[in-house]
Amino acid sequence: MSRAQRSFQPWRIHFFQRHPKDDAGRAVPVIEFFDELSDTVVAQIQAVLDAVAEAPPPSFSGGGKWEAMKGDMAGFFEVRVSGNNKVGKRMNHRLFCVLVRDDPALGGSSIVCIGGLSKEPREAAHPSDYKRIRQLRDEFMIRRSVLK
């Protein structure tokens, strides 16, 4: 497939699943995050992911809903939406993703959703939340390299 043909292919969307050596229950952190959110917020997040995958990510303008992270979180992209959690409290919700290009094990270029967090509007996320997300990303990258 030529580079031009690849550029028009939608990217795949994957949810990171933990390895049994790291978590016997093989948790999927994104599903655990979604379980805390209203159906409306989950649908908004999925709509952003679908739009980014179709663009594909390098071409997607963001519009405040898809942003590249900086500093300690460089290498991540975040889906940003606001809405109620399951108990009706308005929060800002963030889904953290990494981009993986042309990986046959993933079926091609992919957005890999690592995990998420919710925070109060206009408040910074707690550093331990970011640390947890980075640890999950590192786990994904280590396990991925072992499979190659």
Alpha carbon distances (Å) from 66 to 23, 47, 109? 29, 11, 17
What's the pLDDT band for 62 if we cut at 50, 70, 90? confident
7/95: higher pLDDT: 95
User: What confidence tens digit (pLDDT) does each residue in 34-47 have?
Assistant: 999 999 999 999 99
Q: How far is CA 112 from the centre of its chain?
A: 6
Q: What pLDDT sits at residue 3? A: 58
* Bridge pairing between strands 108-119 and 12-15: parallel
pLDDT at 138 exceeding the cut of 60: yes
Q: What pLDDT sits at residue 58? A: 74
pLDDT at 81 exceeding the cut of 80: yes
d(CA 47, CA 142): 29
Domain map (residue ranges) of the chain: 10-17+25-147
What's the pLDDT band for 148 if we cut at 50, 70, 90? very low
What's the pLDDT band for 4 if we cut at 50, 70, 90? low
Beta strands (DSSP E) in 16-130 are: 66-68, 77-84, 90-103, 108-119
d(CA 19, CA 21): 5
Percent of the chain whose predicted confidence (pLDDT) is above 90: 76
CB neighbours of residue 86 within 10 Å: 11
Q: What pLDDT sits at residue 56? A: 85
Count of residues making up the chain: 148
